[in-house]
Amino acid sequence: MKTRIKFRKYGALRFIGHLDVMRYFQKLLRRAEIPVAYTSGYSPHMIMSFASPLGIGLTSDGEYFDIELKEPISSREAVRRMNAATVEGIDILSFRQIAEEKKWTGMAIVTAADYLAKWKYTDTMGYSVPGNPSFDEILSERLPAFLKQPEIFVLKQTKRSEKEVDIRPLIYRMESRKDGIFMRLAAGSVQNLKPELVMAALCRFADIPEMPDCFWWHRLELYAAADNEAAGLADAGHKFVTLEDLGREIGEGHE
Amino acid sequence: MRKLALNDEILLKIEKPARYIGGEVNSVMKDPAQVDIRFAMCFPDVYEIGMSHLGIQILYDMFNRREDVWCERVYSPWVDLDKILREKKIPLFALESQEPIQEFDFLGITLQYEMCYTNILQILELSQIPLHTRERGEEDPLVIGGGPCAYNPEPLAEFFDLFYIGEGETVYDTLFDVYKQCKKEGKSRLAFLECAAGIEGIYVPQFYRPSYQEDKTLASFCPVNSHAPFTVKKQVVTHLEETTYPLSPVVPYIKATQDRVVLEIQRGCIRGCRFCQAGMIYRPTRERDVETLKKYAKAMLLHTGHEEISLSSLSSSDYSKLQELVTFLMEEFQGKGVNISLPSLRIDAFSLDVMQKIQDIRKSSLTFAPEAGSQRMRNVINKGLTEDEILDGAGQAFTGGWTKVKLYFMLGLPTETEEDMREIAALSDRVARRYYEIPKEQRRGKCQITASSSFFVPKPFTPFQWAPMCTAEEYMRRASIVKQAFSEQLNRKSLKYHWHDAQVTVLEGVLARGDRKVGNVIEKAYRLGALFDSWTETFRGECWMQAFADTGVDPEFYTLRERGEDELFPWDFIDIGVQKEFLRKEWNRALAETVTPNCRIQCCGCGAARYGGGVCYEDKN
Ligand code: SF4
Ligand code: SF4
C-alpha cells in the first residue's frame, strides 16, 4: 500500500539538510513501528520518495514523502505514533493512502509551491531611517507594479553558463501579507523557480540594489497539477491540488 | 521552543550546523531550577566522533537518571566555528540547554587518546574557564577527567581539578552526593576537593608534588595535603549486571561515526598482549549476561530506530556466549530491516557462516591483527595468533568466496630486527599464495591483501612501559624496509601496504608516558596553533617542535630512553590491581621470547583478582 506523509519542519530543525531529514524519517518510522516495506538484500532499506527537497535554513508547513507499507495502519494511529516519537521541529500532519500507479508518487507530480518570505525584523531595525518608509513598506508598495510587467528577466546560473530567463510566467501568484510576501511559484522537475530569485528581482525593481538579509524563508505547500475541476484552484489559468488532497485517509478498519 | 546559542547567520555559514543545535531524539531536557548539579560531559573532538562513544552515552544516561543532576553534552567546535566564537566572544555552550559551560558545576572531559590534549585547552578557553586549576575561582566549574588516558594524568595535571580513575559507574554517585553536601554547607572549592580526594578512585592533582632527580627522572611523588591518599585505586564494576545501560541513547541528526546500536558484551580482555594498555587497565575480564543483552538489543533498536546493531568489546571472540547472542540477533532482526555488524572475530566455521549470512562476501573483507610478521616477534608481544591460524582461516574464507583480506601490524616493537620487519611482507605474501593454491576455475579473479602498519607506542601500565621508542626517521626507515620487502614478493600485484605517520607517533609517545613538565609543552603548542592534532588535515607538527624548543623540554627524554628497572613512573601512584612486579616479569619474559598463557588457560597472578569478580573467579567457586 502506498502512503503519503505530510509534515512540518520548523525551529532548530531548519538546519538539518535533506539527506539527514531522510535518515531522520527512516529512524522515526521504526521507532513508531509503522509497518514499512523494505527492499531485500544484504542492506535492506525503506522505499522512500521525497517530493521536493527543502534547502538548509528554510522552514515549511508543507513537506511530503511517500512510502510503501507492507500492511495497512489507520491514518489516525500512524500520525499519533509518529508524533509521539518525533522531536520538536518536525510534526506529522497527515498520513494518507495514495494511488498505486508510479506516476502519482514523489517528485514527478510537483508543479507548484507556496512560499512566504517572512520579515525577520518586525521593527525593521537597521534597515530604515526613521521617518522614511521602511523596507517592507517599500516592497509592498512596489509589488503591484512589479507584477504588472509583462516580462521579468533575471540572470539564471546553470552549471556551465549564465542565461537571461523570463520568470514572470513562473510566478502564479504574489501578494503582500502582514507577515511577509506570499508567492506561488512553479516547482518540480520541469520548471522550478526559487523564491530567493523572485525576491531579489523585486528588490532590484524597488531600487534596493542588494537583497538585504531580512527574510525567513518558509514553504507553505506543494501542489500537483489538477486534471479535474473538483480539486483545483485556478491561478492564471493553472489548476492545482495539494499533494495531500491526492491521498485519502485510511480508516480504523483499513477500508 | 528552545533558543539556540548561535544565530542564523552563524549557523548558515558554518559546516554541519547540526553539530551545535542539540535537541536530538533521546537527548534529555530538564528544568535547571529543579536540579542541584549541572554537568557538562565533553568529548574533546568533533560531534560525529564524540557522539559515537559508548562510555559517554553510559554516563549521560546514568547521571540523568538522578533527578538532582542534569547532564548535557559538549564537543569540540570545528575550526570554522572556533574562529567565530573567538571573534565574537561567544562562550562555549552545552547542546541541550544551549547555555554557557561557564555556569555549570562540572565540566567532565573524557580522555580517549593523547592527540586530543590541545582540544581540551580549546574547550576550556572557549568556555572562558581559566586553563590552570590554580587560576580558577569559586564560580568556575570543576574540571574532571576520566577515560584511558587518565591512567597517566600527569601531563594534564595543571588543567584538571580532579581525575576519575576507573569505570564511571562506581563512585560518581558518591562524588555527586559529596558535592551537594558541600554546596549546602557553603564549603569552598578547596574544601570540596579535599572531601573528594577522600573518595576512592578520585585524584586531585594539586594535592600532590613531584620532585625530580638530577637525571630528570622522578625522585618522589607525594601528597602535600592530608586528605590525599598515597595511592589512588582504580574503580571497577565487579558485576556488570548491577550497572545501568543506556537503553535510549541519543540519536544524532547527522551521520555519526557509529550510526548504530552498540551492545557492550564484556569489559576487559583475557589475552595479555604486552603492548596493549586496554588489556591491562580493564582487568579483570567481566562478561555481561546474554539474556540481559538480548533484552537491551530489542529495547535499544525500538527506542532509537537505528537500522544497525553492533557488538562492542575487546577480543569479542572470547565472549563465552557469542554464538548464542549472534544467532539470536540474526533470528530476531534479520528481515526486519536491521543490519548486524560484527566486530572482527577469530576466523572459524562459526564466524564464516555468520558472515556469509549477514554481508556480501564479494564486498566485505576478512580482518586479522597478527600485529607482527614473525613468530619470534609475536612471542615477544604475547600475541597468541599463529601463522597456521591465519593461513587456515584465510584459506577457509577463500574457499567460501572471500577475496579480500586486511592485515594489521605494528612496527618498531621492542627487539624488532630487520628480519622481523621483512616478515610482514612475507606473511602477507603467504596469505596471497594460499589464495592462488585454489584451482583457477574456482577462484574469483585476483585476491587483494591489504597490510597496514602503525608504529608502536609504549603505554603506561603495560609490560612495555620500560621500552624505548625510535626516532621518527628510524620509524620511516623501517616502513621503507617493509615497503621494499613488499615489492620483492611473488604476489606483489595482489598486495598493498600502508603505513601511518611517524611524527604523530613520537608525540603520542611523549604524551603517553609524560610527566607534569609536559603540560607546558601542550599549552605552548596550543598557543602556537596546534588543534585537532588527531586529524591529518589539521595536524601541525611544527607547532609542537617549536613548543619543545620554547619550553626546553626534550622529547627524547620521554621516547628514546629505556627506563631503568627501579625507575619511579609518574603514574605509579595509581593502583590498577595489576602489579608493577607482574608487568616487570612480563617485560623480562618478552625479552626471553616466552609466551604467557591467557587468563582462561591459566591465571598468572597479575593482581587483578583483588577486585573479586570476573574471569579470576570463573568456575572457581
Ligand atoms: S587481544 Fe591483545 S590486543 Fe586485543 S584487547 Fe586483548 S590484550 Fe589487547
Ligand atoms: S588475577 Fe589471574 S585470572 Fe585474574 S586477571 Fe590476573 S591473570 Fe587473569
- Residues A120, A227: one domain? yes
Ligand nearest to the backbone CA of B345:
1
Q: What is the CATH number of the domain that holds A104?
A: 3.30.70.580
Q: Is A71 part of a structural domain of the chain?
A: yes
Among A109, A139, A169, identify where a domain stops: A109
> Does the beta carbon of B360 lie under 8 angstroms from any beta carbon of chain A?
yes
Query: Is residue B361 a contact partner of residue B329, using CB atoms and an 8 Å limit?
Result: no
Question: What is the model's pLDDT at position A228?
Answer: 47
Q: Are residues A137 and A172 in the same domain?
A: yes
Q: Which residues of B touch A45 (CB under 8 A)?
A: 307, 337
- Number of other CB atoms surrounding residue B122 within 10 Å: 22
Is position A115 within any domain?
yes
Domain total of chain A: 2
Say whether both A126 and A154 belong to one domain.
Answer: yes
Nearest to B128 by CA among B143, B147, B113: B143
On the question of pLDDT at A229 being above 50, the answer is no
Nearest atom (ligand 2) to Cα of B606: 6
Identify whether residues A162 and A95 lie together within a single domain. no
Q: Could you read off the pLDDT of B560-608 as tens digits, one per residue?
A: 999 999 999 999 999 999 999 999 999 999 999 999 999 999 999 999 9
Judge whether A249 lies within some domain: no
**Same domain? A114 vs A47:** no
Residue numbers of the domain that contains A74: 2-109
Mean pLDDT of A180-190: 91
Percent of chain B residues topping a pLDDT of 90: 89
Q: Ligand 2 pocket test: pick from B270, B615, B620, B621 the residue with the most ligand atoms within 8 Å of its Cβ.
A: B615
- A58/chain B closest Cα distance in angstroms: 11
Atom of ligand 2 nearest to the CA of B603: 2
Nearest-CA residue for ligand 2 atom 4 is B616
Ligand nearest, relative to CA of residue B269: 1
Average pLDDT over residues B106-119: 97
Distance CA A61, CA A54 (A): 11
* Least confident among A225-239, B140-154, B466-480, B563-577: A225-239
For residue A124, pLDDT over 50 is answered with no
Residue B364 has φ and ψ, to the nearest 5°, of -85, 160
pLDDT score of A233: 45
Gap from B296 CA to chain A (nearest CA, Å): 15
Mean pLDDT over B124-141 rounds to 97
Residue B458 backbone phi and psi in degrees, to 5: -65, 135
Rounded Cα–Cα distance for residues B241 and A252 (Å):
43
For residues B303 and B618, which has the higher predicted lDDT (pLDDT)? Answer: B303
Which residue is listed with cell 569478580? B613
Nearest CB to B339: which of A15, A23, A43?
Answer: A43
Return the higher-pLDDT residue of A138 and B16: B16
Give whichever of A87-101, B139-153, B319-333 has the largest mean pLDDT. Answer: B139-153
| Predicted pLDDT at A122 | 52
Whether residue B421 is predicted with pLDDT greater than 50 in this model: the reply is yes
Contact (Cβ atoms closer than 8 angstroms) between residue B567 and residue B217: yes
Residue A248, domain member (yes or no): no
Q: Domains of chain B by range and CATH?
A: 8-232 (3.40.50.2300), 236-359+575-621 (3.30.750.210), 360-513 (3.20.20.70)
**Over 80: is that where the pLDDT of B5 sits?**
yes
Using an 8 Å CB-CB cutoff, list chain B residues near A9.
none
Helix axes B418-436, B387-400, angle to 10 degrees: 30
> What pLDDT score does B621 carry?
46
Could you tell me if A120 and A224 lie in one domain? yes
pLDDT for the residue numbered B350: 86
Q: How many CB atoms lie within 10 A of CB B255?
A: 13
Which of A69, A89, A109 is the last residue in one of the domains?
A: A109
- For residues B46 and B510, give the distance between their C-alpha atoms in angstroms, rounded to a whole number: 24
Q: What per-residue confidence (pLDDT) applies to B533?
A: 93
Domain annotation covers residue A254: no
Tell me what pLDDT residue B252 has: 97
Q: Do A45 and B24 touch (CB under 8 A)?
A: no
State the pLDDT confidence band at A104, using cuts at 50, 70 and 90: low
- Helix extents (H) in chain A: 18-31, 75-85, 135-148, 195-205
pTM beyond 0.90: yes
In a shared domain, residues A115 and A101: no
Q: CB-based contacts of B394: which residues, under 8 Å, 6+ apart?
A: B347, B366, B368, B405, B431, B434, B435
Higher-confidence position of B128 and B348: B128
pLDDT at position B109, please? 98
**Do A148 and A176 lie in a common domain?**
yes
Same domain for A136 and A220? yes
Q: What integer pLDDT is reported at residue A114 of this predicted model? A: 96
Q: Ligand 2 in contact with B615 (CB < 6 A)?
A: yes
pLDDT of residue B6: 95
| CB-CB neighbors (< 8 A) of A27 in chain B | 25, 251, 304-307
For helices A18-31 and A75-85, the axis angle rounded to 10 degrees is 110
Residues of A with CB under 8 A from a CB of B: 10-13, 15-17, 20, 23-24, 26-31, 33, 36, 38, 42-46, 56-57, 85, 87-89, 213
B448-474 pLDDT tens trace: 999 999 999 999 999 999 999 999 999
Question: If we measure between CA atoms, which residue out of A197, A187, A49, A180 comes closest to residue A114?
Answer: A187
B304 CB within 8 Å of a chain A CB: yes
Which of A23, A33, A42 shows the shortest C-beta gap to B359?
A42
What is the model's pLDDT at position B191? 97
Residue B167 above 90 pLDDT? yes
**Bigger pLDDT: B336 vs B146:** B146
Average pLDDT along chain B? 95
Question: Which residue in B146, B133, B151 sits closest to B513, CA to CA?
Answer: B151
Q: Residue A253: inside a domain, yes or no? A: no
**Strand ranges for chain A from DSSP E:** 2-9, 48-50, 59-68, 90-97, 110-119, 153-157, 162-166, 171-177, 180-186, 215-225, 233-235, 238-242, 248-249
As beta bridge partners, residue B163 has B145, B203
How many percent of chain B have pLDDT more than 70?
Answer: 100
Contact B262, B318 (CB under 8 A): no
Same domain assignment for residues A68 and A121: no
Q: From the CB of B528, is ligand 2 less than 6 Å away?
A: no
What angle do the packed helices B189-197 and B172-184 form, to 10 degrees?
150
Find the mean pLDDT for residues B426-435: 96
Domain boundary among A109, A136, A162: A109
User: Is residue A252 a part of any domain in this protein?
Assistant: no
Mean pLDDT of A33-37: 94
User: Is residue B342 scored above 90 in pLDDT?
Assistant: no
More confident residue, B85 or A255: B85
DSSP string, A204-231: HHTT-SS--S-EEEEEEEEEEE--STTT
pLDDT score of A231: 43
The pairing of strands B366-371 and A238-242 is unpaired
Q: How confident is the model at residue B443, as a pLDDT?
A: 87
Cis peptide bond N-terminal to B155, omega within 30 = no
Does the distance separating the beta carbons of A38 and B305 come in below 8 Å?
A: no
In this structure, the answer to whether residues A114 and A235 fall within a common structural domain is: yes
Taking residues B286-312, report their average pLDDT.
96
Please name the member of A20, A46, A89 whose beta carbon is closest to the beta carbon of B254.
A20
> Does the C-beta of B269 come closer than 6 Å to ligand 1?
yes
Q: Please list the alpha-helical segments (H only) found in B464-561.
A: 472-487, 502-512, 518-527, 541-551, 555-559
How far apart are the C-alpha atoms of B199 and B196, rounded to whole Å? Answer: 5
Same domain, A6 and A105: yes
Question: Any idea what DSSP says for residue B268?
Answer: S
Residue A250 lies in a domain: no
Residue B603 near residue B549 (C-beta atoms within 8 A): no
Our mutation pick for probing the ligand 1 site, out of B265, B273, B583, counting the most ligand atoms within 8 A of Cβ, is B273
Q: Is the pLDDT of residue B330 over 80?
A: yes
> Which residue, B398, B399, B366, B371, is CA-closest to B385?
B371
